Amino acid sequence: MKVLVINAGSSSLKYQLLDTASGEVMAKGLCERIGIDGVLTHTGNKSDEKFKFDIAMPTHKEAIQSVINVLLDPEKGVISSMSEIDAVGHRVVHGGEFFSDSVIITEKVLKAIEDCVPLAPLHNPPNLIGIQACREVMGPDVPMVAVFDTAFHQTMPQSHYMYAIPYEYYEKYKIRRYGFHGTSHKYVSQQAAEMLGRPLEELRLITCHLGNGSSICAINGGKSFDTSMGFTPLDGLPMGTRAGNIDPAIIEFLAEHEHMDAHEVINILNKKSGMLGISGVSSDFRDLDAAVADGNARAALAKDMFNLSVKKIIGSYVAEMGGVDAIIFTAGVGENDRSVRWDVCEHLEYLGIKIDPEKNKYRGKQMDISIDWARVRVLVIPTNEELMIAKDTERLVSAAQ
């Protein structure tokens, strides 16, 4: 199948056209400044050359039409007819408790996604707009699938996803741990099983999706067992600009002493905290590494706090699952930051975890970086959420035909 993968934001739209048989990315690009003036950046036609166009995009409908037009372009495109696009896979951030798997989009599904808007007010509305725009431009005959960031984590036991607040708030508002990055955790766990040559159903895995946004997932028998992000992506690890776990009383304390309301405090915890807040340098780990090399103590402190948080969650998940067969590092930091991987796994030899310092020198490459005798394998697996979305889309559409 040729599957068009769409990730719609409020003023942007990312796309990839993938061949699911080979995994080849036939074309990819980004529509930006939707509703302002419109810019489309496109890579295709079996080359790495980037093409940039200024195109009026008053709405997402014009953005989708621009994507179709450039895919069909005789010089820059990769298809000769829109009929070559077999299906569309849409990334949708929040599926609440409605969806434990990806699903073919129907009116009922759209209603459920809309019902989840209070849980993801910044993400679900543009996701819905992207779906509607595709339907308007491509027509009713092209099947479309919603792939949810939260769906993979719906297998968590209730004791793992509930918060110890009055139960009525769960019943009224569905306040609970949902988890995110599910598509990435699912993809790398499947790749890990292939690398280890063992059935996924037999494995206990800990997947570390570490980037500007970071989350860790305990995967037992191929199913999400626990995860670090919670009701929102603010929970869990300290990240690029997010604080992660804090004492909730800090919110009231800051509001009172800094004369802010709760919304302003949450904005600080989301956008001005984490690595940026501690280091005062940057939210980007590459900038932090450069600052550490220059002797910046606060940048070093930020990385130490991050690495310690990852180590603590890994330890808790080993305890929850009664052991672990492999730890997987993925996403921008997990795939490329050697010092993070080394510091996280240091002093875990008693668990059978030990990284080979020579193998750890590689970046962005799928490989086993464990020392030969290690009982627990440490794997680096570049994530590919778009391919996972395309594969899920192919699976559901093929089954429905």
Give the strand order in the sheet containing 50-54: 50-54, 39-43, 24-32, 13-19, 2-8, 87-92, 144-148, 103-104
The answer to whether residues 178 and 169 touch, using CB atoms and an 8 Å cutoff, is no
37 annotated binding-site participant: no
385 annotated binding-site participant: yes
Q: For residue 96, what is the DSSP state?
A: T
14 annotated binding-site participant: yes
- Cα–chain center distance at 296: 30
285 annotated binding-site participant: yes
d(C-alpha 188, C-alpha 387), whole Å: 11
210 annotated binding-site participant: yes
d(C-alpha 29, C-alpha 52), whole Å: 10
DSSP bridge partners of 25: 18
312 annotated binding-site participant: no
DSSP bridge partners of 219: 205, 224
358 annotated binding-site participant: no
334 annotated binding-site participant: yes
d(C-alpha 196, C-alpha 329), whole Å: 15
DSSP states along 127-189: HHHHHHHHHHHH-TTS-EEEEETTGGGGGS-HHHH--SS-HHHHHHH--S---S-HHHHHHHH
147 annotated binding-site participant: no
d(C-alpha 117, C-alpha 17), whole Å: 28
38 annotated binding-site participant: no
395 annotated binding-site participant: no
Phi, psi of 165 (to 5 degrees): -115, 170
The answer to whether residues 275 and 266 touch, using CB atoms and an 8 Å cutoff, is no
d(C-alpha 194, C-alpha 176), whole Å: 33
d(C-alpha 269, C-alpha 355), whole Å: 33
204 annotated binding-site participant: no
Tokens of 161: 């996803």
Please indicate whether residue 149 is annotated as part of the active site: yes
Q: Could you say which of 37, 149, 247, 392 is catalytic? A: 149
17 annotated binding-site participant: no
Q: Indicate the annotated binding residues for ATP.
A: 14, 209-213, 284-286, 332-336
Q: Which residues are catalytic?
A: 149
Q: Indicate the annotated binding residues for substrate.
A: 91
Q: Indicate the annotated binding residues for Mg(2+).
A: 7, 385
Q: Indicate the annotated binding residues.
A: 7, 14, 91, 209-213, 284-286, 332-336, 385
